[in-house]
């Protein structure tokens, strides 16, 4: 777990332990620094997860995300790091992170990473009429 995660991320007990349900969190204000040039990068981070024992506390998540403001971070690495930190802290049944980075040098990059408990069964979506 990174220092940012241990410093900021907090959890609270899942209020509905016996139930698989979805929490979706969109964070359009992610910014960090390019580790090569020191120039700012920007991204939209989209998180969705099925909690197990704990949920991530939203204000602590906001502070954790703000903590990247002064950090150098490659696109692929930082997306995996955010997943690793959130998995380490919340140990969810399933988690997906999608990071859509702003254009740099005429190139648009998106990174999508997932974590899943080995024995978790994904739900079948029920489509009512």
- Burial (Cβ within 10 Å: 0-12, 13-18, ≥19) of residue 82: buried
57 labelled ligand-binding? yes
Query: CA–CA separation, 42 vs 3, rounded Å?
Result: 21
Residue 66 in contact with its own copies, rule: CB under 8 A? yes
Q: Which of 113, 43, 56, 108 is nearest to 80 (CA)?
A: 113
Location of structure tokens 């919340």 = 90
Q: Are 106 and 99 in contact (CB under 8 A)?
A: no
Q: Which of 62, 72, 91, 117 binds its own copies (CB under 8 A)?
A: 62
3-state secondary structure of 94: strand
Instruction: Build a one-symbol-per-residue string for 97-126: x at contacts with Ca ion by CB under 5 A, - elsewhere.
Output: -----x------------------------
Residue 3 in contact with Ca ion, rule: CB under 5 A? no
Residue 125 in contact with its own copies, rule: CB under 8 A? yes
Q: How far is the CB of 60 from Ca ion (least distance, A)?
A: 12
**Is residue 20 among the annotated active site residues?**
no
Q: φ, ψ for residue 59 (rounded to 5)?
A: -65, -40
Q: Output the known binding site.
A: 56-58, 75-76
Instruction: Using CB under 8 A, list all residues that contact its own copies.
Output: 12, 14-16, 19, 21-29, 31, 36, 39-40, 42, 48, 50-51, 55, 58-59, 61-62, 66, 69, 74-77, 79-81, 83-84, 94, 96, 98, 102-116, 122-129
């Amino acid at each position: 777990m990174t220092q940012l995660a241990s410093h900021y991320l907090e959890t609270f007990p899942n209020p509905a332990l016996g139930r698989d349900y979805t929490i979706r969190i969109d964070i359009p204000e992610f910014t960090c620094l390019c580790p090569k040039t020191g120039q700012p990068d920007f991204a939209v981070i989209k998180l969705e997860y099925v909690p197990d024992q704990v949920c991530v506390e939203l204000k602590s998540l906001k502070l954790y995300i703000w903590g990247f403001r002064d950090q150098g971070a490659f696109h692929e690495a930082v997306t995996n790091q955010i997943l690793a930190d959130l998995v380490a802290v919340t140990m969810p049944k399933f988690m997906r992170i999608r990071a859509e980075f702003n254009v740099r040098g005429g190139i648009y990059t998106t990174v999508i990473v997932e974590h899943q408990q080995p024995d978790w069964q994904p739900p079948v979506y029920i489509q009512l009429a």
